[in-house]
Chains A and B, each alone.
Chain A
Amino acid sequence: MDTALEGRATATGAFKWAVAVLAIIVIALSSAKSKLSSTTFEAMCDAVMAVTDTSEMQEADSQMIRRLYGIDPNDYDGAMLYYPVTNMHAAELLIVKLKDEDQQDGVEQAISDRKNTLLKSFQGYGAEQTAMLENSITDIRGNYAFFCSAKDPEKVHDAFSEAY
């Protein structure tokens, strides 16, 4: 047996595990910070739109986002809204990329208000729309806010989660 070689192997092995420990520290620290998504707003919208049926929705401009949600798209890194083509529909999709996590509460409140408004407008006659809104998904996560009211909101939400 070559003891010099064995000694080199042991030293290399120790160095290898030192690299592993350093990696664990760096990954743990970055994981704690990485609640924020690095996905660009455009990539997020593309991923979500790829699975969204927009036949009952139309894209909103900044003014419409302000009107329906009371938030100014200029205050965020990005905001996209698809809203119902007519007052008889309840399918809606909102994605907002926040500048920082401090904006979460404001957007969450805006989504909640909008949902309540829609629920009230269908109360009493729009059973299908009400059910759709009750099944809607709101997800405020790190630097993104997501709201989807659709026939299959889980699928759209899965695409959001995957792209996040």
Chain B
Amino acid sequence: MSFQTIPFIFLFLPVALILYRVIPDKLKDLILVILSLLFYAWGDIAHLPVLIFSMAFNYLAGAEIDSFRRSGRDSMAKTAVITSTAADLVLLGFYKYTGFFLSIFGVTYTQQDMPIGISFFTFTVLSYIFDIYYGKAEPEKNIIHYAVYVSFFPKIISGPITEYGKIRDQLADHPVTWLKFRTGLQQFLIGLFKKLLLADKLGETFQALQNTGDLASASAWLGMVCYSLQLFYDFSGYSDMAIGLARMFGFSFDANFDHPYISDGVTDFWRRWHISLGQWFRDYVYIPMGGNRCSSSRLALNLLIVWILTGFWHGASWNFIFWGLYHGAWVLLDRFLIRRFFDRIPKPVRVGCTVLIAFFGWVFFFSPSLGSAFHWFGMMFGSAHLGFWNGTTTYYLKGILLVLIPAIIFCSPKPGDYIEKLSLRDRNSAAVSIAGYVFLFFVCIAAMVSSTYTSFLYFKF
């Protein structure tokens, strides 16, 4: 089940909210777990046992690591964390990477269906055992609270990946206030708008261009821009919906996106894009390897390892590894070579260059193979011999312009800040703001009903 579907909005969510509201306090978290498992089963009942086993295994691993630590057997605690991590990665690898590794040796293998959200819930349970091992948090004594942490339905399928130590206090106490509920609902609606009215429309144009075959340069550039904006609005829309839903149940999650397309450097971009994944790799891979408190060569190696892993996390193909290396190389260049020069040029130029680097990177993301990625780059620079601009370009640009303009404008925080400031000005403005959200809801429902369902792009990860 996905957030932007009629059954979720008109059945699952209202029932969940009402149940959560009317049930006695001590049963609220149990209801959340049941609802979360039901939500997961609705989308992928075949793999529900995998999720439950993963939860049980890591709950026990957390208790084991904590007992060894407290009994002074640090080496045993280390062994427990290493073997448990290995088991989690074997499970992830079995479903996600077996086919890729076997293909390197020329073995054809039909990859098993991947459990929905396995990359996300595996990183969630790893955070649990790492935080216990590093002493950042106590293990959760209440198994229901732990089950909410791992399986909470707004984040189980595509994050944000919550770190246990940062959210532990909320597991025991997450009261729903009117303010939280209202702002959560607003954020959910904004996410719905981003997904249905921006991402899906941009996706239609990108898909049509991708299916066209050879393209004139401008069409290939348009395809790249449409996909880059689609990916941003698709995933940030999902994250907004997830964070908004969590808030409606009393949880406060950190933002997963912070206007990445106004970044003025690649490092800055990665502080703003899929923030929860970046923080996970920083806290559990980069810093344990020494972070930046080491020699320049070691630092470069650490960064490259993190970026290869980040690429590989997204998918089992050379494309994603290359994409990870591509960004790793830019982060290294940003850090060691071009930052000083970069800081001297005007900010709009810096932002433009960063956006171009990010957009070029997404070509590896959307292409089915490395060869087709380079073919797309070739078309952007005229390899199709169809000229710079042709009728196809005009046709698709005209069709998407009314979506493309707001999609570009909303990359900046200024329009959102301005709207929020206006809504807080006086009582009339607040009423207009509420009416605006109601209108947005109906427009989104109309879009949902009138168009075919499009899954979130990050579901496949």
Contacts and interface: CB of A to CB of B under 8 A. Distances in A.
Interface of A: 1-3, 5-6, 8-9, 12-13, 15-16, 19-20, 22-23, 26-27, 30-31, 34, 37-38, 46-47, 50-53, 141, 151, 154-155, 158, 161-162, 164
| Interface class of chain A by DSSP | helix
A9 B211 contact: no
A162 B50 CA distance: 20
B53 A22 contact: yes
6 contacts: A2-B70, A9-B64, A16-B60, A16-B61, A158-B368, A162-B460
B84 interface: yes
A164 B76 CA distance: 42
What is the interface of chain B mostly: helix, strand, loop, or mixed?
Answer: helix
Contacts, number: 91
A26 B112 CA distance: 14
Interface residue tally of chain B, by bracket?
35 or more
Contacts of B113: 34, 37-38, 164
B44 A51 contact: no
A19 B56 contact: yes
A15 B67 CA distance: 14
A52 B53 contact: no
Contact of A12 (B67, B112, B210, B368): B67
A69 B54 CA distance: 45
A151 B210 CA distance: 13
A38 B63 contact: no
A155 B71 contact: no
Given A9-B67, A9-B68, A16 B84 contact: yes
Nearest to A22: B53
A34 B88 CA distance: 21
Q: Which of A6, A16, A26, A141 has the most CB of B within 10 A?
A: A16
B211 A19 contact: no
Nearest to A141: B110
B135 interface: no
A38 B60 CA distance: 31
A32 B454 CA distance: 30
Interface string B77-98: 0001000100100010010000
